[in-house]
Structures are given as C-alpha cells and as structure tokens.
Amino acid sequence: MGKISQGILGGLSGKVGNVIGGTWKGIDYIRIKPSSVANPRTEGQVNQRNKFTVTLEYLQPNKDFIKLGYKSFATKKTEFNAAMSYVLNNAIGGVAPDFTIDYSNALLSRGSLSTPLNPTFDVSTPGNVTFEWDNNSDEGNANATDKAMILVYNPSRKESIYILDGEVRTATTQMLSIPSSYAGDTIEVFMAFISEDGSQVSNSVYLGNGTAA
C-alpha cells in the first residue's frame, strides 16, 4: 500500500491505484502503471510472434553474410535488424499459424552491384556444392574483380556454410565444402557478389534447393 506524505506532486511512496511512486538518487518520481491486457495472446499477436520466430531461425545462422550484405541499410539500426525487417515484410509464406520463409524473396544481401548471371549449383559430389555462373563482368556495373559470396543453408539443422570472399566474377565457378552429416538433408542455396573493396554488394540470388550427397 502506498501513501502520499507531501501531496500528490511529491512524497509518494509505493502504489496508489495505478500510480506508482518512489525515489531515485534523491529525486521523487511518479509513473502510471500500464493497464493490463485482457488477452495478451490474441490471434494477431500469436501470428506476429510466429513470423518473428521463423525469421529469426532463418537469419541467425547467416549473421556474417548479412553483416556484409545489409551494411548499406544499417542506418540507426544494425545490419541484422535491417534484414529482419526486410524478410518480415517481404518473405513470409505459409498459412497462419504455420508460417514459412519464402526463400526466393528472403534476400541475405541487398545492393546495386550486378547480380550473378545464370547461377547454378550441383550437389552430386559428396561433401561438396559446386556453384557455376556466367561471366558478365563487362555488363552494367559488374567488375572482373568482384568476388562471389556463396551460401548453403540447412533448414532442418538451422545451420549455414558460406564463403564471403570467394572466386572472382570471371572465374565462373566455386566449390563449397559442406559437412558429411548433411548427406540426405535438403539444403537451400544462395549467391551474391561483393566488390573487391567491399563497398558494394549485389542482391542475393536464390538458386533453389537440393539434397546433399
């Protein structure tokens, strides 16, 4: 129980109704206790939490990739938060409450650098994923020295394997080693380019999924 010893504007200690008072470093303060929510688990709230959870599970293993891929959008927010916002608003699929990630729209990198041209991947070699693409270094703002950023995401394990400083654009191929324990797992495959000095990145491109050998 609270009491007011000096009138309503001072000396309030404890709680009176929904008004809470106290002293901090010799300074009297009062604040209003927020009204209780009758149903904190409304359908809308549950759906939003589920969307947040699936997005976090997808992005968490890809933090280092995102740190480079979203650095141009880290204004008054972190790169990770920028990616969270983008994916939540653009890449949530499924039917409530069972939401999923739409990988084709779930960009792990965003930028104006020219994207990979006709990228493909092959999983026929055990323990490896081979990426290939066409050389478009003479088109748009692409450069021969741009470096491949390649990533394999294993959704069942919530893990990713990636290379952030890969082969140059003119090499047209890159191999990525994956754990032998991935054999039989479905993997989701992504690729982007980053300029040699790291100042520019391309949008990431979703190459599709496959079963790891």
pLDDT digits 0-9 by tens, 158-174: 999 999 999 999 999 99
Identify the structural domains of the chain with CATH numbers, from first to last. 3-32 (no CATH), 43-211 (2.60.40.10)
13 pLDDT band (50/70/90 cuts)? low
Whether residue 52 is predicted with pLDDT greater than 60 in this model: the reply is yes
Higher-pLDDT residue of 17 and 46 is 46
What's the pLDDT score for residue 4? 43
Give this prediction's pTM. 0.81
User: Does the pLDDT at position 112 exceed 50?
Assistant: yes
Q: How confident is the model at residue 41 (pLDDT cuts 50, 70, 90)?
A: confident
If you average pLDDT over residues 83-92, what whole number do you get? 98
HEC profile for the chain?
Answer: CCEECCCCCCCEEEEECCEEEEEECCEEEEEECCCCCCCCCCHHHHHHHHHHHHHHHHHHHHHHHHHHHCHHHCCCCCHHHHHHHHHHHHCEEEECCEEEECCCCCCCCCCEECCCEEEEEECCCCCEEEEEEECCCCCCCCCCCCEEEEEEEECCCCEEEEECCCCEHHHCEEEEECCHHHCCCEEEEEEEEECCCCCCEECCEEEEEEECC
Q: Residue 44's pLDDT is what?
A: 87
Q: What is the pLDDT of residues 113-168, one digit of tens each?
A: 999 999 999 999 999 999 999 999 999 999 999 999 999 999 999 999 999 999 99
